[in-house]
Amino acid sequence: METIFYKSIGKEQEIFEHAYKNKLPLLLKGPTGTGKSRFVEFMAQKMGKKLYTITCHEETSSTDLIGRYILKGAETVWIDGPMTRAVKEGAFLYLDEIAEARPDIIVALHSLTDHRRSLYIDKTGETITADENFMLVATYNPGYQRGFKELKPSTRQRFISLSFNYPKKEIESEILIKETGIDNETANKLVKLGAKIRNLTELGLAETVSTRLLVDAALLIKSGLPQRLSCDVAIAEPLSDDEDTTNAIKDLISLSL
Ligand code: ADP
């Protein structure tokens, strides 16, 4: 199996290991594309754990996560959902974008995130105590503009929390080089461009350029697409649908490359 690449930004590996040891659920906060999912995949591999990932959205119900009865011939049989499997098997359960989850899922999480460490399955009437190796990790993006879902303080306080943000220049360059095989000079140019866009608060972007977008631009450049075009389609266009805004970013791109 290929080793997952993850470049540490701070003490996140230590914090994760201590959270695991103390059976504390962990919340990763921060903007999209800052390495949260990569970090969890890396830690699962490093610690030799199976990882169940669920991207929460408004349609995800507790039935999808906990399990359901299905018809098999003339019989109905119970099928565990990914959350129940993770709890029983002592795996890592990663709930991406937890604020998007339906209230019934948040309710199901309550007993799992306190001293009980148990999951109640209302459809079967069973209560399952989590295997001692089970760990819950969730992500939350607090930067969203008004209208997006907030995480309730009562849910938030069930987790220890770790903030993710855009990495320092040298670290971000290293990530681009390792991820895409791009040369040093181009990586540095992309990172500088990223920093400039992040400083342009007057653009009023809901979210600014992430490491993910810089990686995408680097991949396109590495595969032979011209630099400016790569940045236009990987950076300027994904950041906004407003023509004036994308044009302003495109101007910055042509000045920077
Ligand atoms: P998030 O889960 O925060 O939205 P991801 O973990 O999906 O972000 O990261 C997006 C991409 O950015 C990854 O696929 C990877 O290429 C790159 N990346 C960001 N931060 C790191 C890091 N610290 N180490 C390695 N790759 C990173």
Tens of pLDDT, residue by residue over 2-56, are 899 999 999 999 999 999 999 999 999 999 999 999 999 999 999 999 999 999 9
Say what percent of the chain tops pLDDT 90.
80
Cβ of 141 less than 6 Å from ligand 1: no
Cβ of 173 less than 6 Å from ligand 1: no
List phi, psi (to 5°) of 157: -75, 0
Q: Specify the pLDDT at position 58.
A: 85
Q: Specify the pLDDT at position 68.
A: 94
187, 96: one domain? no
111, 209: one domain? no
| Residues in CB range of 133: below 8 A, 6 or more apart | 49, 90, 91
Q: Specify the pLDDT at position 144.
A: 60
- Does 60 have pLDDT greater than 90? no
Cβ of 179 less than 6 Å from ligand 1: yes
Q: How far apart (Å, rounded) are the C-alpha atoms in residues 206 and 192?
A: 20
- Does 76 have pLDDT greater than 60? yes
Q: Measured in angstroms, how far is the CA atom of residue 36 from the centroid of ligand 1? A: 6
Q: Which residue has the tokens 């119970």?
A: 78
CA distances from 30 to 50, 70, 85, 164, 166 (A): 24, 38, 28, 5, 9
DSSP string, 137-180: EEEE-TTPPTTSPPPPHHHHTTSEEEE--PPPHHHHHHHHHHHH
CATH number at residue 32: 3.40.50.300
The pTM (predicted TM-score) of the whole model is 0.93
Partners of 78 in the beta sheet? 69
User: What is the atom index within ligand 1 of the atom nearest the CA of 215?
Assistant: 16
**Residue that is last in its domain, among 114, 140, 163:** 163
Cβ of 60 less than 6 Å from ligand 1: no
Q: How far apart (Å, rounded) are the C-alpha atoms in residues 44 and 38?
A: 10
Q: Specify the pLDDT at position 151.
A: 84
List phi, psi (to 5°) of 100: -80, -15
184, 81: one domain? no
Q: Measured in angstroms, how far is the CA atom of residue 252 from the centroid of ligand 1? A: 24
174, 145: one domain? no
- Does 102 have pLDDT greater than 80? yes
CA distances from 187 to 151, 164, 172, 176 (A): 36, 21, 8, 6
Q: Measured in angstroms, how far is the CA atom of residue 76 from the centroid of ligand 1? A: 42
User: What is the chain's mean pLDDT, rounded?
Assistant: 93
Say what percent of the chain tops pLDDT 70.
98
126, 71: one domain? yes
Q: Specify the pLDDT at position 239.
A: 95
CA distances from 31 to 35, 76, 114, 118, 202 (A): 9, 43, 27, 30, 18
Q: Is residue 1 part of a domain?
A: no
Q: Measured in angstroms, how far is the CA atom of residue 120 from the centroid of ligand 1? A: 34
Q: Which residue has the tokens 């399952």?
A: 128
Tens of pLDDT, residue by residue over 107-152, are 889 999 999 999 999 899 999 999 999 999 999 988 765 456 778 8
DSSP string, 88-116: HHT-EEEEETGGGS-HHHHHHHHTTSSTT
Q: How far apart (Å, rounded) are the C-alpha atoms in residues 238 and 78?
A: 42
Q: Measured in angstroms, how far is the CA atom of residue 219 from the centroid of ligand 1? A: 14
- Does 180 have pLDDT greater than 90? yes
Q: Measured in angstroms, how far is the CA atom of residue 211 from the centroid of ligand 1? A: 7
Q: Specify the pLDDT at position 202.
A: 87
Q: How far is CA 121 from the centre of its chain?
A: 27
Q: Is residue 193 part of a domain?
A: yes
188, 212: one domain? yes
Expressed as residue numbers, the domain containing 219 is 169-256
210, 111: one domain? no
CA distances from 65 to 55, 101, 102, 121 (A): 11, 11, 11, 11
Tens of pLDDT, residue by residue over 236-253, are 999 999 999 999 999 999
Over residues 43-71, the mean pLDDT reads 93
Over residues 57-69, the mean pLDDT reads 89
Which DSSP state fits 85?
H
DSSP string, 226-250: -HHHHHIIIIIHHH-S-HHHHHHHH
User: What is the atom index within ligand 1 of the atom nearest the CA of 8?
Assistant: 23
